[in-house]
Amino acid sequence: MLILALDASTPVVAVGLARADADGGREVLAEVSVQGSRQGSRGASESLLPAVHDVLRFSGCGLEEVERVLVGVGPGTFTGIRIAAAVARGLAFGQPGARLTKNSTLAALAAPALYGSTGGFGTEVLAVIDARRGQVFARRFRGPGSLASPVGEGGISCSVPGELAAGGEPGRETLVVGDGAVRYRAELSRLGHIPPDASPLHRVTATGHVLSADLAPMPAGKLVPIYVREPDAEVRRDLNPWSGARGSS
């Protein structure tokens, strides 16, 4: 089964092509990452489709061969998430043999660190994405690579970095990864080991999605973004004293 994976939840737009076999093995054939703006919208809108064409060309495959279109649904940059979801729906709709599937961006961020774990650093991973407004999105994961599973029942955290609880299992080392870990290194280093800023473990990748997604097909209506909190535009509208004036008399 050929899988086209894409994510625009962070400033790095990631697109990859992978093959899954009947025994559950997954092989990444090509991946393209494009650094965009922190706002995410312009980078995603301009980069996603060219990156799709690039990974197909690099791998020597055609879009008509794709059977799964896998998209990261957040949390992350609201506009980037929406653009990626729209592109995924369009690609799947245009190919009769392709089905949609989704994955958490935090799971994709944690997967490469867990996949490379041998029992030391990384046996538990705290994935942290910069949520802006001085906050981060975070979740703990544990398990070997594709078997990665969230730790605890609390779901995804959205808080200021200093309020993130340790939460790790006593005696288990934690690896803290993501652009949120880089930006708030001073506040988050108490929670575990943070790799150097240039480490690829801090980037959300298509490979991470391929490793961690269950690939279950779903209708387009089930492709729901994980926002966690209100989009910035909604907050700004609530703070605008004129937002409720229109139509009133």
Parse the chain into domains and list their residue ranges. 2-104+204-230, 106-202
Determine the Cα–Cα distance for residues 204 and 109; give it in Å rounded to an integer: 5
Q: Quote the tokens at residue 134.
A: 């001085």
DSSP three-state, residue 182: helix
Position 232 scores a pLDDT of 57
Output the CA torsion sign for 193, 196, 197, 198: negative
pLDDT in tens, 226-247: 998 876 544 444 445 554 544 4
Q: Domain 2-104+204-230 belongs to what architecture?
A: 2-Layer Sandwich (3.30)
Output the CA torsion sign for 86, 91, 95, 98: negative
pLDDT in tens, 167-219: 766 657 889 999 999 999 999 999 999 999 999 999 999 999 999 999 999 99
Position 117 scores a pLDDT of 55
CATH of 106-202, one of 3.30.420.40, 3.30.465.10, 3.90.930.60, 3.90.550.10: 3.30.420.40
Q: Which residues of 221-234 are buried (b: 16+ CB within 10 A; e: fewer)?
A: eebebbbbeeeeee
Overall average pLDDT of the 148-154 stretch: 60
Q: Quote the tokens at residue 98.
A: 């392709």
Determine the Cα–Cα distance for residues 108 and 163; give it in Å rounded to an integer: 24
Overall average pLDDT of the 97-111 stretch: 95
pLDDT at 106 over 90: yes
Classify burial at 35, counting beta carbons within 10 Å of its beta carbon; exposed 0-12, middle 13-18, buried 19 or more. Answer: exposed
DSSP three-state, residue 161: helix
pLDDT at 121 over 80: no
- Cis-peptide into 75, omega within 30 deg: yes
Overall average pLDDT of the 73-95 stretch: 94
Same topology, domains 2-104+204-230 and 106-202? Answer is: yes
